[in-house]
Amino acid sequence: MKILFIGDTVARPGRTIVHDCLKHLQQEYEVDLTILNCENAAAGFGVTPTIADEFFDWGVDVLTSGNHIWDKKEIFPYLDKNSRILRPANYPPGNPGRGCAVVRTRSGEQAAVLNLQGRVFMPTTDDPFRAADAELEKLSKDVKVIFVDMHGEATSEKLAMGWYLDGRVSAVIGTHTHIPTADESILPGGTAYQTDAGMTGPFMSVIGVMKEEVIYRFLTQIPVKFESASQDVRLNGTLIDVDSQSGKALRIERVHRR
């Protein structure tokens, strides 16, 4: 089974390159399951039901997210209605939505997608490690392929999650920092790992935001409204080839388009 994961997709430029490249990528790599992190898709902050529906119409199977999933209030009821858009599983009970989805892939096989959020330098949430244990315990033993989006700031926390889940899931791929890392590997237990898949959006920026505004903020410490940039748009993601019988990863590679 081939899984294509598209990293944090930022604003209209990110959405546009996904629209333009997705079908070709799916055909080129013979993708069975497409996952995309959508938490920055609406002007850089959050996602709306309309944008989520667009992603699904274009061929995305599951949307993951992170701390910005709550930025657009109109997404709250949508999270309860659509099981294919996830918020991190380790938010406290009672919040809208869910953190794990089981879907049938294009090859006809089942796969689970789990969304977690780190706690280091991040908003307060429940323990992602114990949340991972709880979500994995709920899955049917028939579900062999399990993909984890670990949304976090600290590389150490994301790597720790990779080692913690090694041999129990097919892949742990990090999001949130918007900077693609060159550490893609297959851990000894058969779990594919990358600290961060990187950003899909405008790279003439500071992690998607107009660079002038961010520099001004650093120089003055005065709050300023951040706006999404628009130039040098690139798509970053990760392709994982998984043995669907064992759930072990066979290959992992970075995907980059501009």
Among all residues, which ones are annotated catalytic? Answer: 68
For the chain, the straight-line distance linking the first and the last C-alpha, in angstroms and rounded, comes to: 26
Whether the CB-CB separation of 156 and 136 falls below 8 Å is answered with no
Pairing of strands 33-37, 2-6: parallel
Q: What DSSP element (H or E) covers 213? A: helix 211-220
Question: What tokens does 234 get?
Answer: 């690139």
Half-sphere exposure of 41 (CA within 13 A, CB side): 28
Whether the CB-CB separation of 158 and 152 falls below 8 Å is answered with yes
The H-assigned helical ranges of 74-193 are 75-81, 128-138, 155-165
Across-strand partners of 233? 202
Burial class (CB in 10 A: 0-12, 13-18, 19+), 15: buried
Distance CA(56)–CA(10), nearest Å, equals 16
Pairing of strands 233-242, 201-202: antiparallel
The order of strands in the sheet holding 192-194 is 100-104, 110-117, 145-151, 171-175, 192-194, 185-186
Whether the CB-CB separation of 90 and 57 falls below 8 Å is answered with no
